[in-house]
Amino acid sequence: MRAGDSTFIIVGGGIAGLCAAIGLAKLGIEAHVYESASELKGIGAGFGLAANAMQALEYLGLKDEIIPIGHYLASYNILDQKGNILAEPDTKSISRKYQQDNFAIHRADLHQFLLSKIPNTQIHLGKRAVSFERVGEDIHVYFADGSHAHGQALLIADGVHSPLRQQLIPGSTPRYSGYTCWRATIDNSSIQLEKGTETWGTKGRFGMTPLVDNRIYWYACINTEAQNPVLKTWKTKELLDNFSDYHTPIPTILSETKDSELIANDIIDIAPLRQLAFDNIVLLGDAGHATTPNLGQGACQAIEDIAVLMDELQTAASITLAFQRFEKRRLERVNYICNTSWRIGKIAQWENPFLIGMRNFCMKIMPNRMKQQRLNNLLSVDFMQINRNHDPRN
């Protein structure tokens, strides 16, 4: 594709949309981001940037500036309710192989950084896309405020609820995982948490990790029906009651969290899709493959998407071809992650003490080689090489 030939419309100014705008600018392609929020401040708490995401960020030329705003994660162990180690994934061997480390980062910090790389004139806030239409070879996108934009390509990056995806693929509505989640970022001065861990217990899961600037990001997942009206009223007191017999510092973290710091939402994803590319329209990030957070890979996959898309746009003869090749390189991987994460979530959320005892016993006696297999499938894969050998007819 020749730079300067086209204008790309990006719907959604999340991690996928902003990384896409940065990548396209590097290729000399004009792109405009249309975001529904009136202010972009990266709502949410922290998340993990695993080695694969760091590799993608390096490809996009962003890694070196992101490392200082991330917290290096030497390990991320799975614990039982008493704090005993159930699994101790060896991320170091993968880091050595690819020369990439794992980090935890605050969403707002990452957003702020990505935004600083994009000219204001290319970001349009308060633009909630409601539909699109093909007009000749162009795509027109219509917004809730009555305005519209048009371009030669449309990158749909407006997250799991994407109305544009649902226009393309009717019925691709989010599905509820069976558990709801609370998250917060709090001060680490008195707790001095040093390691990232996730605890699997009878009353739910609790994850915590340190962040830069002496902060902690934590999350808690509890099984319940979707939109449970009682759990919607839960504040830190109820969470503390629920997790009171979990190992330290979980009760302390909860007691140090202010109600106003809590973010609560049901965990949803979308069932794996069969298609990501539709001529000159492509689905990116959560809009195309929202996954449950059990592998900590949602944002990582969004960033991988952009690295692969830029790789294809650099070499393909047309936008349509680049999007087709993108789909070919991405679909199997993102669907594997979505399915695996869904299954892990079910097992991690078991509440039956007998099943939990069996699970924990198996996890403890399982040879390290087997425990490591899943992590290897996830991280020890050079995603930039997947299906790089294109069909010669293309």
User: What CA–CA distance (Å, rounded) separates 298 from 289?
Assistant: 8
Q: Is 360 in the site for ligand FAD (CB under 6 A)?
A: no
Letters for 302-321 (x = contact with ligand FAD by CB under 6 A, - = none) are: x-------------------
User: What CA–CA distance (Å, rounded) separates 337 from 377?
Assistant: 9
Q: Is 163 in the site for ligand FAD (CB under 6 A)?
A: yes
Written in H, E and C, the secondary structure of 77-120 is EEEECCCCEEECCCHHHHHHHHCCCCEEEEHHHHHHHHHHCCCH
Q: Is 165 in the site for ligand FAD (CB under 6 A)?
A: no
Binds ligand FAD by CB under 6 A, chosen from 25, 98, 125, 128: 128
Binds ligand FAD by CB under 6 A, chosen from 299, 307, 309, 310: 299
Cβ proximity to ligand FAD: between 109 and 158 the closer is 158
User: What CA–CA distance (Å, rounded) separates 197 from 195?
Assistant: 6
Binds ligand FAD by CB under 6 A, chosen from 6, 10, 13, 236: 13
Q: Taking contact as CB under 6 A, which single stretch among the options 121-129, 253-261, 312-320, 330-338 is the one that binds ligand FAD? A: 121-129
User: What CA–CA distance (Å, rounded) separates 158 from 10?
Assistant: 9
Q: Is 36 in the site for ligand FAD (CB under 6 A)?
A: yes
273-304: burial string, b at 16+ Cβ within 10 Å, e else:
beebbbebbbbbbbbbbbbbbbbbbbbbbbbb
Residue 193 C-beta: closest distance to ligand FAD, Å: 16
Q: Is 175 in the site for ligand FAD (CB under 6 A)?
A: no
Cβ proximity to ligand FAD: between 12 and 89 the closer is 12
Binds ligand FAD by CB under 6 A, chosen from 109, 266, 286, 312: 286
Q: Taking contact as CB under 6 A, which single stretch among the options 64-72, 124-132, 146-154, 166-174 is the one that binds ligand FAD? A: 124-132
User: What CA–CA distance (Å, rounded) separates 349 from 125?
Assistant: 38
Residue 18 C-beta: closest distance to ligand FAD, Å: 8
Letters for 47-76 (x = contact with ligand FAD by CB under 6 A, - = none) are: xx----------------------------
Query: What are the residues whose beta carbons fall under 8 Å from the beta carbon of 151, sequence distance 6 or more?
Result: 6, 7, 8, 9, 32, 138, 139
Say if CB 111 and CB 277 are below 8 A apart: no
Q: Is 157 in the site for ligand FAD (CB under 6 A)?
A: yes
Q: Is 17 in the site for ligand FAD (CB under 6 A)?
A: yes
Binds ligand FAD by CB under 6 A, chosen from 129, 270, 283, 348: 129
User: What CA–CA distance (Å, rounded) separates 289 from 300?
Assistant: 12
Q: Is 125 in the site for ligand FAD (CB under 6 A)?
A: no
Binds ligand FAD by CB under 6 A, chosen from 1, 8, 10, 12: 12
Q: Is 208 in the site for ligand FAD (CB under 6 A)?
A: no
From 173, 139, 174, 372, select the one nearest 268 (Cα to Cα).
174
Cα–Cα distances (Å) from 211 to 103, 181, 195, 311, 364, in that order, read 9, 19, 10, 31, 29
Judge if the upstream peptide bond of residue 249 is cis by omega within 30 degrees of 0.
yes
Planar angle of CA 127, 130, 135, nearest 5 degrees: 100
Binding residues (CB under 6 A) for ligand FAD: these are: 11-17, 34-37, 47-48, 127-129, 157-159, 163, 181, 183, 219, 285-287, 293, 296-300, 302
